[in-house]
Structure 1
Amino acid sequence: MSTSNASETVTPTSDLSSSSLPTVSTYNVPTLIPIKLHRDNYMLWKELFIPVLQNYDMLSILDGSAPAPPRFLPLPNLSLSTTENPAFTLWTKKDRTCKIWLHASLSESILPYAVGCPTARDLWLTLEKRFANLTRSHVLQLKSRLQTLKKGSATMLDYLQSLKHIADSLAAAGAPLDTSDFLAHALSGLPSDYDAFATSIRVRSDPIQPEELHGLLLSEEIAVENRLTHIPPSDSHLHAFHTPQSSASSAPSPQALNTYSQSSRSVPRSHSSFSSSRPNNFTPRPTHYNSNFSRKPKCQICSKLGHSALTCRQRLNMAFQGPTPPSSLTQNTTPM
């Protein structure tokens, strides 16, 4: 081990005299580990860190397979005298270097856990105790969210972004989601309007990637919206006539009746059938006859325009006195 400008250099083997072996500076270690440890990515961080430690013969410091040797060696002739053990000095430098590497790979929120850890192994065990179980619990929560995630009323883009966020979180926690599992969860969360589309994806012989599924789902969303909002123009007047009315009025509105009458006039009749059915003294009605059909109805109870007796407010009011009938209707009646 040699020092240069306050940076230690470590070889990937215990033979420190070999200059042909690759070396690494403690300042360059963060570049070998692309992420820092956070609360929810311990498994991924550990998976990336262990190969670096193995390559530079540092893992034995953390796993306990290379414990610290005695600090002093007794002299052969003087049992009361001791001397510094060179192996302990080398082990101390490696342990300190490994601890520096750990510090360099921790995020700012995790650094307080390094307080009170005298050796690199103590820090390693503290991190494993703090975050291993937390990461497993986090993975289970993410998988549960993935299984229960539904599109619902959200847009397709928001739904796909939620799926990708959960998949990215699982990858960061060290449990990446398989492509087939991602497709299965994405299709199972779609509403029934997408059943035909989901079936076509499941029966495909060639595999589909999530990026391709993203574009297909966005296109299918537009097609589903068009199917749900489209009404054929030829059936629009019948749709208006047969629409159920509210509980307050079960009779069709004058506008619907007018629309229906106009559509009826547009149907051509056979000249022979019409002429054979009319009497000899038939007189054609004025051309403005059909326009009277669109006039507002007059109630037979209260004599007001705009509604019929069936929808009149007073039809169940026994105390209501309607208009006086004409004398021609009452002069021939006799009391009972």
Structure 2
Amino acid sequence: MSDSVKIEGLLGMLTVKLQDDNFVKWSYQFQSVLKGYDLFDHFTGESPCPPRFVIDTEAGVTHEITVAYKNWVKKDLALLSLLIATLSDDAMEYVIGCKTSHDAWTSLQEWFASISVVRVNQLKTEFYSSQKGGKYVEKFMLKLKGIKDQLISAGEKITDNDYMIVVLYGLPVEFEMIKTVILARETTMSLKDFRAQLLGAEASIETRMHSLSSSMAAMVMQGEWSNSQRFWAVYEHGESSNSNGDSYHGSPSNVSRGSGYVGTRNRSFQQRNNGQNNYYRRFNNGSNN
């Protein structure tokens, strides 16, 4: 790669911006990319700035600026620009005034890598008391790993086994079986196997819960169907009673079928008519006599 650093090409590989809580992640990505292109020595100071002026064997130091110095400054300023482009607005405050990439890197290390005692205690509390809640296992583990990395960068010693125990005790009761199995192991488990075991347990739990939900839904539907059958049985029994015109059930269908209330009203009307007819017959008979 030439001294003319292709910032736009490298910037596309640096997807993480430095925030207050992700220095370890940001630093890891930044170092990996820059070391891959043999450019990180500017940030560490392992590529010192060459002499600025040409030294003549006879005249001594001249006012002529060396080509090596010009090239180094150009390259270093390009790298400093690249670094600044990966900072959030808040993080940028800590590099304002820095003239070289090494100065900027050192300033960021002092501010972000050195965490206060109060912050360490906060991180420890969060680390040891975190619960999975509604998160997926994968997301829960990544959250705890991020806290662990911050504590390690602050000088705290946290082993992989410590991390796994914290994860296990943050899982809900549905994971009791896998927790018991893992904690009872006599041999050391790798983080890869640990993750696979928990993801497998989570998938099994979700399958059982889905099956249980389906069964409960089927039971509810069966109950509704049974209630519906009982309703129609009672309704049909009422219909058969109404067909004799003996009672009123208040159903619109009774009205349309000419039974129930309408039937009773018609029967009363007919009774009144019969009474009137009998009266007229008795009256007429009396007149004839």
| TM-score of the aligned structures, taking structure 1 as reference length | 0.47
Q: Does 1:101 align with 2:75?
A: no
The separation in 2 between residues aligned to 1:161 and 1:79, in whole angstroms, is 65
Amino acid at match of 1:126: S
Q: Does 1:213 align with 2:201?
A: yes
Instruction: Output aligned runs, 1:26-37, within 5 Å.
Output: 26-37=7-18
The separation in 2 between residues aligned to 1:32 and 1:116, in whole angstroms, is 26
Give the secondary structure class of the aligned counterpart of 2:79: helix
The separation in 1 between residues aligned to 2:181 and 2:63, in whole angstroms, is 80
Which structure features the higher share of helix residues? Answer: 2
Amino acid at match of 1:212: G
Give the superposition deviation at 1:172: 7.1
Q: Which runs of 5+ in 2 are unaligned?
A: 188-192, 212-289
The separation in 1 between residues aligned to 2:14 and 2:139, in whole angstroms, is 28
Q: Does 1:157 align with 2:134?
A: yes
Q: Percent identity?
A: 25
Give the secondary structure class of the aligned counterpart of 2:54: strand
Identify the match of residue 58 of structure 1 among 9, 21, 39: 39
More deviation, 199-208/141-150: 199-208
Give the secondary structure class of the aligned counterpart of 1:118: coil
Would the alpha carbon gap of residues 78 and 195 (structure 1) be closer, same or farther in structure 2, given more than 3 Å must change? closer
Give the superposition deviation at 1:186: 3.9
Identify the match of residue 198 of structure 1 among 170, 176, 179: 179
The separation in 2 between residues aligned to 1:194 and 1:52, in whole angstroms, is 39
**Is contact 2:127–2:148 with CA below 8 Å preserved after alignment?**
no
Q: Does 1:188 align with 2:172?
A: no
Would the alpha carbon gap of residues 109 and 184 (structure 1) be closer, same or farther in structure 2, given more than 3 Å must change? same
Amino acid at match of 1:123: A
Q: Does 1:48 align with 2:29?
A: yes
Give the superposition deviation at 1:187: 3.4
Give the secondary structure class of the aligned counterpart of 1:45: helix
| Corresponding residue pairs, total | 201
The separation in 2 between residues aligned to 1:187 and 1:220, in whole angstroms, is 20
Give the superposition deviation at 1:167: 2.3
**Is contact 1:75–1:81 with CA below 8 Å preserved after alignment?**
yes
Instruction: Output aligned runs, 1:202-241, within 5 Å.
Output: 202=183, 208-216=196-204
The separation in 1 between residues aligned to 2:151 and 2:131, in whole angstroms, is 25
Amino acid at match of 1:213: A
Question: Residues 1-31 of structure 1: CA distance to partner in whole angstroms, max 9, x if unpaired?
Answer: xxxxxxxxx53xxxx6xxxxxx861112221
The separation in 2 between residues aligned to 1:178 and 1:215, in whole angstroms, is 27
What is aligned with 1:91? 72
Would the alpha carbon gap of residues 194 and 212 (structure 1) be closer, same or farther in structure 2, given more than 3 Å must change? closer
The separation in 2 between residues aligned to 1:189 and 1:220, in whole angstroms, is 21
Would the alpha carbon gap of residues 222 and 198 (structure 1) be closer, same or farther in structure 2, given more than 3 Å must change? farther
Question: Residues 124-179 of structure 1: CA distance to partner in whole angstroms, max 9, x if unpaired?
Answer: 1111111001399767644542323457xxxx536969834632533774969988
Q: Does 1:169 align with 2:146?
A: yes
**Is contact 1:73–1:84 with CA below 8 Å preserved after alignment?**
yes
What is aligned with 1:39? 20
The separation in 1 between residues aligned to 2:45 and 2:166, in whole angstroms, is 42
Q: Does 1:133 align with 2:102?
A: no
The separation in 2 between residues aligned to 1:192 and 1:200, in whole angstroms, is 14
Give the superposition deviation at 1:46: 1.6
